[in-house]
Amino acid sequence: MAPSPIHPGVSYTVGIICALDVEKAAVEARLDEEHGGVEKMAGYSFGRIGQHDVVVACLPAGVTGKASTAILAKDMMRSFPIKAGFLVGIEGGV
């Protein structure tokens, strides 16, 4: 697995997408460890849950829908070696 360009030596294999900032805050609160030291890029945050390195992303304010979510997922998978992805929150039931 290729290491992250953001945090060398870390492979973010789990991606979590949230539709709202409040949902992202809830996921960030569940992180066992936050990977700091780098400014949050374009709505992404980084951390670890259990043994899994996790990247969390949120749609920009006012942007909703399946197409926007699919674009965010595609960009996340292009940037990180994601093996498992989750859509959480109210949009997760779609």
Convert the pLDDT of each residue in 19-43 to its tens digit.
888 889 999 999 999 887 555 566 7
Q: For the chain, how many structural domains are there in total?
A: 1
Tokens of 35: 């990977």
Span 67-84, average pLDDT: 91
The residue range of the domain holding 42 is 14-93
- C-alpha 50/C-alpha 94 separation (Å) is 27
**Is 42 part of a structural domain of the chain?**
yes
Res 35: pLDDT: 84
- C-alpha 18/C-alpha 13 separation (Å) is 17
Beta-carbon contacts of residue 83 (< 8 Å; ≥ 6 apart): 13, 14
- C-alpha 84/C-alpha 75 separation (Å) is 14
Span 41-49, average pLDDT: 83
**Is 2 part of a structural domain of the chain?**
no
- C-alpha 74/C-alpha 2 separation (Å) is 17
pLDDT digits (tens, 9 = 90+) for 49-73: 999 999 999 888 888 888 988 999 9
